[in-house]
Chain A
Amino acid sequence: MAEINKNGQIIPIDPRTALLLLLLVTIAVFSQHSFYVEIATLLVIFGLFLYGGLAESGLKFVLQFGFLLLLQYAIFPVAPKLFTDTFSILAAYARKVLPCAMMGAFLVKRIPMRYIVLAMRKWRFPQKLIIPLSVTIRYFPAIREEMGYIRDAMKLRRISGAARIEAYIVPLMFSAANTAEELGAAAVTRGIENPAPKTSVIELRLCPRDYVLIGCGIVLAAAAFHLR
């Protein structure tokens, strides 16, 4: 079963497997023309969710997919024209990217960022790319949080129109610039500029389950090209 690390986090699969699977699912989703491949992709990822102990969130994605199918095949043909016009492209697009979004959600929920950094290091990504990329991914939740605070502050002061946009952007930039200063100082203190190769307490090892998953991904991507 899934491994549990010292911090009590469940790490169901090797981060490299998860990243490869994301890539393969993306290839499969965007080159498939067959409904069966679409369903198979979804089921493989759903299986992965069950294995990683994320049954509830996996079920939510499957239900969303079902809802989109219902919308496209049962509701759009009979709905008013305006409704269909507005939502048809969104529904088609959402259905298309749903497996990728699901795989992405799995990564976010089950693979901690340090494992992803480690995977990139194993693949010999340059350090100059790993650092900003990991900062970018870690900063997304901070942006969301910041936006919430700004919204609360704005409620107190009745700001409207174009001033609202300014009132969002300016504090966001201030906090970003300050975070960059502080994080930069902290990272330099902790030796980010040390040219010696980085070491890690975590050891990555590919297990049979990783090979099985990568195999599934390759089969799906190959099937996407050949089945019509």
Chain B
Amino acid sequence: MTAIQVNISRKLKGKDLITIGIFSAIYFVFNFIFMLVSGFHPVLWILMPGLIALFTGVPYMIMASKVQKPGAIFLMGFITGLIYFATGMFTVIILITFALACVLAEAVRYLTKYKSFAGNMVSFAVFSVGMIGSPLPVWLFKDSFFDQISEQGMSTEYLSSLNALANNTILVVMILAPAVLAIAGALIARALFKKHFEKAGIVKTWQR
């Protein structure tokens, strides 16, 4: 009698690719909602990466649990970046930070062997920090950035309230917020896993 071969292939199969596609759609929609909301006030714009991290924890962690293979996060990031880029909503800066974050998140998952909650939580925190590229030009090219947006017809009130926020303390807050809120988002996801998803057999229980 031959034992049943357990398929431990690390290559992405058809079903994995479809799962990635569906959860990327959900990730994108959540991301996009906060992208729109961030237009209302400079403070919302600066908190946007953090707010996105808080709310996308659930889809990210479900996908991470369902596709425990290399490339899943990279594809999710690539699809999100591609749609944003094709519709003209990503600047070069955010493409760079987002790509870096995806690569690092993949590396974290590789090193933590894909199966643990903690490893995926850290990878999600790294992944979430990638969104800071959206408000980052405020600090990177301070003066030329303000010239550029005032030329685009931003009101002087908006400019002055943004200028008041453009200091180093806020920069640190802006960078740390997504990491901290990503951990909160992942913990919320774990609570929902226990309450709903594991019982229903949608996701596997995390390994230690």
* Chain A residues in the interface with B (C-beta under 8 A): 19, 22-23, 25-26, 29-30, 33, 72, 76, 81, 84-86, 88-93, 95-97, 100-101, 104, 128-129, 131-137, 139-140, 142-143, 166, 169-170, 172-174, 176-181, 183-185, 187-188, 192-193
Chain B 11-43, CB-CB to A under 8 Å as 1, else 0, gives 011110111111111101100000000011100
Interface residues of B in 85-111 (CB under 8 A from A): 85-89, 91
Give the docked Cα–Cα distance between A49 and B75 (Å).
33
| Sample of 7 more A-B contacts, CB < 8 Å, known A140-B25, A140-B29, A180-B15 | A26-B86, A92-B152, A97-B89, A101-B87, A128-B17, A143-B29, A180-B22
B137 part of interface (Cβ distance < 8 Å): no
Give the docked Cα–Cα distance between A115 and B200 (Å).
37
The answer on a CB contact under 8 Å between A133 and B82 is yes
Interface size (B, Cβ < 8 Å)?
49
Q: How many A-B residue pairs have CB under 8 A?
A: 152
Residue of A nearest to B57 (CB): A169
Residues of B within 8 A of A101 (CB): 87
Residues of B within 8 A of A128 (CB): 12, 17, 71, 75
Residues of B within 8 A of A85 (CB): 155, 157-158
Residues of A within 8 A of B202 (CB): 173-174, 177-178
The answer on a CB contact under 8 Å between A139 and B158 is no
Give the docked Cα–Cα distance between A176 and B29 (Å).
13
The answer on a CB contact under 8 Å between A135 and B14 is no
* CB of A33, distance to nearest CB on chain B (Å): 7
Chain B 130-150, CB-CB to A under 8 Å as 1, else 0, gives 000000000000000000010
The answer on a CB contact under 8 Å between A184 and B15 is yes
Interface residues of B in 63-91 (CB under 8 A from A): 66, 71, 75, 78-79, 82-83, 85-89, 91
Interface residues of B in 176-208 (CB under 8 A from A): 192, 196-197, 200, 202-203
The answer on a CB contact under 8 Å between B151 and A33 is yes
Residue of A nearest to B13 (CB): A193
* CB of A59, distance to nearest CB on chain B (Å): 21
The answer on a CB contact under 8 Å between B196 and A170 is yes
Residues of A within 8 A of B173 (CB): none
Residues of B within 8 A of A193 (CB): 13-14
Of listed B14, B82, B196, B197, residue having the most chain A CB within 10 A: B14
Q: Which of A91, A100, A180, A188 contacts B19 (CB 8 A)?
A: A180
Of listed A139, A142, A166, residue having the most chain B CB within 10 A: A139
Interface residues of B in 156-170 (CB under 8 A from A): 157-158
Residues of B within 8 A of A92 (CB): 149, 152-154
The answer on a CB contact under 8 Å between B25 and A143 is yes
